[in-house]
Structure 1
Amino acid sequence: MLELKEVTKKFGDRTILDHVDLTVEDGKILCIVGQSGGGKTTLLRCISGLERIDSGQILVDGVAFDPYVNSTNDAVIGVVFQEYNLFPHLTVLQNVMLAPTMVLKKDKKEAQAEAQELLQKLALGDKGELYPWQLSGGQKQRVAIARALAMKPRILCYDEPTSALDPGLRDTVKEIILDLKKDKMTQIIVTHDIDFAEEIADDILRVKPLAN
């Protein structure tokens, strides 16, 4: 279970998150929706360790956890970025294998087998030797999900996973997220797509800009 207690984040004199309390049960899907400037992405970045909180506490299973300084954070919290952030000089397979071999120190053969299995699961089994520039937007999105899953995170975060996808690919991402829920993956999703959120979420957090 993930808990946030009185989490506050400021940029200069501007408060973006003000004493936020939040609980996400294991295996559940939380969608964070709301206006631009409401702090959706900032909240996700704090949970995933890309930003340091100014005050408050983050807990995993009741134990204090600081994702910003935890060197093995990717084994706890994974992130699927809006822009995918794939390495253009690496093949699809190499992109998925990179973090497990470098961060988790996995044997290369083991990492390759697990990466191939993930690609197969996400209907990318025949794309392993291609480079990101050879993929469609939907395929890049699935590679980004495979890369995050390769670290075997407890919690998977997504930043606007459907923003650049057509309706058919949006449904594919929805199916992937719901399949991961069957595997008890805890998922936190920032999205502007209210309909998408209502289709997949166990809980919806609505945020709005603070008056500063």
Structure 2
Amino acid sequence: MLALKAINKSYGKRLILKQLSLTVNDGEVLAIVGPSGAGKTTLLRCISGLEPIDSGEIDLNGQPFDPYRNQNQDSVIGVVFQDFQLFPNLNVLENITLAPILVLKQPAATAKAKARQLLSRLALADKERLYPYQLSGGQKQRVALARALAMRPQVLCYDEPTSALDPNLRQEVAKMILSLKADGMTQIVVTHDLAFAREIADAVKHVTAL
């Protein structure tokens, strides 16, 4: 279980998150919804350790957890970014295996075998030698998901996963999230799309601009 208690976060004098609390249970999907500027992405960056919180507490499985200080320890929190953030100079297989080899210290053969399993599951088995510029938006998203899953996270977060996707791809993303839920993956989805949130989530947390 991941629990945030009375989280505050500011940039300079601008308060972004004020006394925000939420809980997501193991194996659940929590959707965080709200308009642009409400702090959804900032919240996701704090949960994933890309930004430190100013005050409050984050607990993981009942124990205090600081994702900002623990971000290099076996990727407890994984993130699929809105802009994918794939390395343009690396092919698909290299994008997925880079962090497991460097951070998790997996042997290259092991990392590649696990990456190919993920690619097969995500219908990308024939794309491993392609580079990001050769992929469609939906394919890039699945590669970003495979890269996050390769780090064996306990919690997987998504930043606006349906942004700029056509209806077919939107349904594809929903199926991926629900498939991972069936496997027991705890997931947090940041989105402005309330209908999508209701489709995939066990609980919905609304945030509003301060």
TM-score bracket for this pair, using the shorter chain length: over 0.9
Report the AA paired with residue 4 of structure 2.
L
- Counterparts of 2:45 and 2:144 in 1: how far apart (Å)? 17
Contact 1:58 1:66 in 2 (8 A): yes
SS of residue paired to 2:126: coil
Partner secondary structure for residue 86 of structure 2: coil
Q: SS at 1:126's partner residue? A: helix
1:60-94 deviation per Cα after TM superposition (whole angstroms, max 9, x unaligned):
00111100011434521000000000001111011
Q: CA RMSD in A?
A: 0.8
Counterpart for residue 65 of structure 2:
65
Given that residues 137 and 164 in structure 1 are in contact (C-alpha distance below 8 angstroms), is that contact kept between their aligned partners in structure 2? no
Deviation at 1:9, TM superposition (A): 0.4
**Which segment drifts farther, 140-149 or 34-43?**
34-43
Say how many residue pairs are matched.
Answer: 210
Runs of 4 or more consecutive aligned structure 1 residues displaced over 4 Å after TM superposition: none
Task: Tell me how far apart the structure 1 counterparts of residues 196 and 5 of structure 2 sit (CA, whole Å).
Answer: 27
* Secondary structure of 1:168's aligned partner: helix
The answer to whether the Cα contact below 8 Å between 1:30 and 1:202 also exists between their aligned partners in 2 is: yes
TM-score by length of 1: 0.97
Residue matched to 2:186: 186
Q: How much has 1:164 moved relative to structure 2?
A: 2.0
In the alignment, structure 1 residue 110 sits paired with structure 2 residue 110: yes
Tell me the secondary structure at the aligned position of residue 158 of structure 1: strand
Task: Measure, in 1, the Cα distance between the counterparts of 2:157 and 2:3.
Answer: 14
Equivalent residue number for residue 76 of structure 2: 76
Instruction: Give, in angstroms, the shift of residue 52 of structure 1.
Output: 0.5
Q: Which residue is equivalent to 2:152?
A: 152
SS in 2 for 1:172: helix
Q: Where in structure 1 are there 5+ consecutive unaligned residues? A: none
Q: Is the 8 A contact 1:49 1:73 kept in 2?
A: no
Matched to 1:51, the amino acid is: E
Give the CA deviation at 1:20. 1.1
CA distance in 1, matches of 2:22, 2:65: 14
Deviation at 1:19, TM superposition (A): 1.1
Note the 1:83-162 alignment, pairs <5 A: 83-162=83-162
Equivalents in 2 of 1:39, 1:89: separation in Å? 32
- Aligned counterparts of 2:136 and 2:124: Cα–Cα separation in 1: 12
**Contact persistence 2:74–2:104 (CA under 8 A):** no
Q: Distance in 2 between matches of 1:174 and 1:208?
A: 24
Aligned pair 1:8/2:8, yes or no? yes
Listed one character per residue, the Cα deviations across residues 133-155 of structure 1 (whole Å, up to 9, x for unaligned) are: 10000000000000000000000
**Rounded Cα–Cα distance in structure 1 between residues aligned with 2:46 and 2:74:** 14
Unaligned runs of 5+ in 2: none
Give the drift of 1:37: 1.1
Number of the residue aligned with 1:56: 56
TM-score (norm 2): 0.98
Match in the other structure for 1:177: 177
Aligned counterpart, 2:29: 29
Contact 2:48 2:71 (8 Å CA) reproduced:
no
